[in-house]
Amino acid sequence: MFIINCKNYEEIAGEKIIKLAKIAEKISKKYKIKIAIAPPHHLIPLITKFGIIVLAQHLDDKKVGSTTGFMIPEIIKKSKIDGSIINHSEHRITESEIKNLVKRLKKLKLKTVVCVKNVSEAKKYAKINPTFIAIEPPELIGTGRAISTEKPQLITNSIIAVQSAKNSTKLLCGAGIVSAEDVSRAVELGSKGILVASGVIKAKNWESILSDFSRGLV
């Protein structure tokens, strides 16, 4: 799994996101890998027609109905998304919210990507069987210093933690990934995919960087 978190970068504003989605679809088919894009919420309808996975960047554990300004699973599913990132380091939520959101999304048959910052969180949240646990040390995010080279033991220890839950949850890793070598190293360490943001979005050539990262995954 190759997840691209677009955050709120100017590079994907408006219809620019369509270009990224088209390239992602092309690369996904070429390398026979799953590529997901998590755009700002208002851009989701622009990319659901492409052959890629579409994720929300964040969802709120609020009720259906009179909850102004919140994004909730039951409503956003109608926008034809495939799942959501949960608890990203830039949008942390409480333990109860994480557990409730995973439960609600699973009931809707949507993918869940729970972000964690350390091994203890990986072990704790793997027990609720999200689709993926994504280990991302906050201090490396956006630095260009990859988790797979700076903290390889964090990946291997997180894999052990996730496997201890004895369920279907898989581990992804992210933070500082900027090269094919970073990706290959992560896979060698046992990661089942990557979660990236600026390493792709701010690249000068999206097709080139997506191809490089995809080669590292296969």
Tell which phi-psi region holds residue 30, choosing left (phi > 0), alpha (psi between -120 and 50) or beta: alpha
Q: Which of 11, 91, 136, 207 is catalytic?
A: 136
Nearest CA-CA partner of 129 in 168, 74, 98:
168
d(CA 47, CA 53): 9
Q: Which of 10, 41, 42, 88 is catalytic?
A: 88
Active site residue 90: no
d(CA 37, CA 32): 16
Active site residue 88: yes
Intra-chain end-to-end CA distance of the chain, in Å: 10
d(CA 212, CA 25): 15
Residues designated catalytic: 88, 136
